Structure formats: structure tokens, C-alpha cells
A and B are shown apart, each in its own frame.
Chain A
């Protein structure tokens, strides 16, 4: 085991080259609905139990299934009303289990990126070759069913190996959502040396972290979204920032919660200087306009620090 991931060097927030976004926006905002499938009887994993209760864990399973039967449509109608396209973090098994949901997202020109095959099948315990195959097959499924190249990755249930990001970069991906170390895109160091970037995913604003882990009240979630936006929008005057609102229909679409989300997103949409984008669009813009300068600046900063 390593003491640190080794995926990015230390690079202080202050003094970085300025990031600009299309249209002179200060902040890139992306909304990332997770569209997931959880299995009733998942294959056992030695390092992580899929369900807290004895199988069948009807309560845990049904909670997630509610999102697929009821929640996605409700969230799509909300995002439509604000003119926001989603970037779907996709359990690719959904392409086969529930293609109707995928069609609804595809009609809206939403982006699809990989979140593994099932959210109940983890990376833990896979050999490097097995993980490579899983990553490649998920990307191929997205290409086959949606015609989109899979550019981004969020590992299933945030389960990683030491090779996850290397393997995704080697498979032709261009961005990861698995790193929460920054509020701006940053270059990621992978063993292949490919041009590869981390796009901020704002995990602390992820509705599951908010509602399940931190047990936050819906109205406070609205406040958190607004406050995060206000700060990043202000800082974006100096250099462009990124805010992600990562969602799960089975959390945020509940009737007692969705209006709070609606108000939070409407607040953002009511501001100037906002670039509503998808993950792929943010990554592509950064790779084209800012990546090389960032890599150079990181190298120069490290050299300067070493000279002291």
C-alpha cells in the first residue's frame, strides 16, 4: 500500500495560471445524476458488503429501485425547466435493464460516462487484468448503446484500486471524477503519461453524502448549494472554478426534497457568468486551453520550490 495516491503533485490554489471558460463565464457548473442499478443478490465481495441486512435486503434494494421507477423522470423534468443537461454517472447494466431511462436521458442530449457495471460490484479484489476488462467493457457498452464515447469515470460505489485511474486513462478516457482534492480541474499523473484531467465532483454536495452520511435537512441542502456557488462564483472572477451537483434520483427526487434542489439550482441559473456544461465539455475545454500551461506551471513551481 502507498502512503499517497501519487496521482497529482501538490499545487497551491493561489498563484495558478488563470482559467477562462467559454463566454467569459466565471464558473463551470455541471449536474451529474447517477443512474445506477443495485442488485438484489450481488456477488459477495470479501472487502465490502453490498447490503447491511441479510439478503434479500428488500428495504435497501427497493430504496434504490424507487429512483429508477419514479425518481429519474421527476429529476429530468426539473432539469428541463432550468435548461440544464445532465452528465450521467451510469451503472452500465442500466443500458440493458432499463433502456427506457437511458432513452429519456439521451433525448435530452445528456452525457453518459461510466460508473462501472453495477453499483453492487466493487473494484476491490479484482486483478489488474480483471479491472481493465471491466473498465473497457463498460466503455464499450456506452458506445454501443448510446453512440457516445465514454470520456469520464467515477468508479462503482467509489471503489478503487491503485490502478483504477491508470487503467481508465489507458482505455481512452480523458477525465476522472474520483478525486476530490480541488475546486478546479487539475492534470492527473498516470503511468502512461496520457493527457488526463480531474474534474471537480464536489462530493460534499453529493446528495447521498448530504442526506445519508451527513443527515442534512433538505432546506439546508439548498443553502449549501447556494453558498458553495456564491463562493466559487466570486473566486471565479480571478480564475475559473467548477461546481458539480452530484445527484441520485433515489435521494434528491423525493417529494419532500426535490423543491429544495429546485430552488438551489434555480438560484445558480439566475446568475450571469455561469457556464452550464457537461463533464466532457469541461474536460475538453480544459485539455485544449489550459492543460499544457498547468503542467508547465506545476513543473516550474516544483523546480522553484526545490531551489530554495
Chain B
């Protein structure tokens, strides 16, 4: 047995150890205590997954051809997404749409609709890279050239549908190789949402510069709470509302800005029996809108960086 000798800080070089409560407080624009980021993930789960690295949650799980899960996921892109957009647009929410790039080739009409959302909002809904598809997870067994090509291919496929250069990235299943942040930064991206280890944006070190990490908690996702934990949809909404209330209270008590990031999946929350619970969440947020800074992720990040 070799006894590991601990050292101060992290056990890797990706980012510095930092206790959130010892950082200078974040001040959001307008003196609002709570920032809100809503991300909508549009995902494609192939019928014939290779499962290289591992199978992302939500992948096919029955013998081929698993029409059951394929079509349930596809429902999100055909039907569910329009329900989600309706709820968010009616409330004039700012949000991002993280897209598996293969959807740009498969369903251009969906991407055109997302582009219209960007143009319809004064500040724009932001398009975010979300890998190629849910069967293309970035993982430690991937070689650098393959992963570099994969990232380039994703950004190239999405570029025609984004009015601004794409700045942000969410890896499928939040999975990375040891090089993913380096390659994302070298591909010109400014931020990544894979690491769930904080509640505020922070900087990661890459081999050629810094990359921001914008936290998007797994454990408050619709897919996680409803799909993996099996909680009722009403429970999901209760938990999001509890998180909102708690963070707003903590931000005010500690006089330090907080961020609530919500990740929703149209293939989960866009089902007819679930969408009203997203509506309830949005209603709750709107009832406190004077204390909420709702913006697209790149706008939030810029505000955090320039925070006085």
C-alpha cells in the first residue's frame, strides 16, 4: 500500500481551491440579490448507441430497436420543446438552449425556431454547444485529435443558427476527458457548465488560458428529480421553488449575490402532465421578479466578472 501524502488545495491543477464564502460578494445589476439562468437542453439519443465511454442517462436501454425510449426522447424535440418555449416566451424569460449539434443536421426547422427565439428577445436567447449527440460523451479514453475534431464539428454545425459566436458549452452528461476544458478554450469558447462544484461562476485553468465554469446543478434538474429519483412532478416544482426561496433569502441575509441555474429537458418536462409544473415555477419566479436578475448565461457571466 502506498500512503498518499495530501497537499494543500486541490489534488489536480484544473482550478484553485476556493471557499465560496470567503470570496468578494457578487453584485448583480440593479442590486438584485438573485440571478437566474434557465437552460433548455435539446438532445438526440441515437437508436443504435455505441456506448463508448459509457451510456449517458436517458440512452436506449431495451433490446434493439428500442422504439420506446427513442421516441420518448424524440417527443421532446417534436412536441415538448414547443410547450417549454411557450411557457418561457409568455413570461419573457431570458434563457439558453443547449443543442446536440447533430440536431442541426437532422432537424433544421427546430434550429430555425431556436434562432427565431434569439431574434425575438431584446437580449437574445443564447445558443450553447451540447456535444454531438447523447451517444458521444467526452471521456478519458478519447484521444486528443478525436475530441478536438468532435468539438469543431459541433460548433461548425451550430454556427449557422447562432447570430453571435457561440461562447458556452455543456458536455453530454457533463462528462469530460482530462483535456476537455483545454480543447473547449482552444476552440474559442468562453465558458463551460460541466462542473457542478460551485454555485457561482469561477475560473478554470487550461493549457492556453482561462475558461469560466458556470454551475448548472445536476440535482435540481427535471431529468434527475423526475427521471432518476422518481419523484412526482409536483415535488420537482416544490424543490425548485424551495431552492429559489432559500437562495434569495441567503443572498439577502449575507448581502452576497446568489445564482439559481435551472436545467430543463423538453423530453422530460414537456410531457402534457408535467408542463404545468414548469409553469408553476415560472409563476413563482415572476412573483419575485423585482429581486431577480434573469439573463442569458454569457450576460450573467459578464455581470459576475464586472461585479463591483
Contact = CB atoms under 8 A, between A and B. Distances in A.
Contact of A256 (B4, B54, B173, B239): B239
Interface stretch (A93-101, A163-171, A201-209): A93-101
Interface stretch (A8-16, A215-223, A238-246, A290-298): A215-223
A137 interface: yes
A299 interface: no
A268 B20 CA distance: 30
Contacts of A133: 3
A110 interface: no
B197 interface: yes
A53 B240 contact: no
Nearest to B173: A59
A73 interface: yes
Contacts of B198: 66, 69-70
Contacts of B21: 73
B123 interface: no
Contacts of A53: 53-54, 139, 175
A255 interface: yes
Contact of A54 (B3, B54, B228): B54
A58 B195 contact: yes
Contacts of B108: none
Given A40-B12, A58-B175, A121-B4, A63 B246 contact: no
B2 A43 contact: yes
Central interface residue in A58, A70, A99, A101, by most chain B CB within 10 Å: A58
A117 interface: yes
B5 to A, nearest CB: 8
A70 B20 contact: yes
B61 interface: no
Contacts of B139: 53-54
Contact of A130 (B1, B11, B174): B1
B231 A217 contact: yes
A281 interface: no
Contacts of B247: 255
A215 B219 CA distance: 11
Given A215-B230, A218-B242, A254-B219, A66 B19 contact: no
Contacts of A61: 197
A217 B235 contact: yes
Given A53-B54, A58-B175, A256-B242, A126 B197 contact: no
A59 B246 contact: no
A133 B1 CA distance: 11
A97 B10 contact: yes
Contacts of B7: 96-97
B107 to A, nearest CB: 28
B177 A97 contact: no
A117 B7 CA distance: 12
Contacts of A118: 4, 6
Central interface residue in A68, A101, A118, A217, by most chain B CB within 10 Å: A217
Contacts of B17: 69, 97-98
Main secondary structure of the interface of A (DSSP, over half): helix
Contacts of B140: 54-56
A213 B214 CA distance: 28
Contacts of A219: 235, 238
Contact of B243 (A41, A54, A55, A256): A256
B243 A254 contact: yes
A183 interface: no
A130 B9 CA distance: 26
A121 B217 CA distance: 26
A101 B4 contact: no
Interface in B126-180: 139-141, 173-178
Contacts of A121: 4
Interface string B210-228: 0000000111100000001
Given A97-B17, A219-B238, 20 more contacts: A37-B6, A43-B2, A52-B54, A59-B218, A63-B197, A66-B198, A69-B197, A70-B20, A93-B4, A95-B6, A97-B10, A98-B17, A100-B22, A101-B19, A118-B6, A137-B3, A254-B219, A255-B199, A256-B240, A257-B242
29 contacts: A37-B6, A37-B11, A39-B4, A52-B54, A58-B174, A58-B194, A59-B174, A61-B197, A63-B218, A68-B19, A69-B198, A74-B250, A93-B4, A95-B6, A96-B8, A97-B7, A97-B8, A99-B8, A117-B4, A130-B1, A133-B3, A134-B3, A219-B235, A254-B219, A255-B220, A257-B242, A258-B246, A259-B242, A260-B242
Complex A-B, nearest 10 residue pairs according to Cβ-Cβ distance, in ascending order: A255-B243, A62-B197, A65-B197, A256-B243, A96-B6, A93-B6, A256-B239, A255-B246, A215-B229, A73-B21
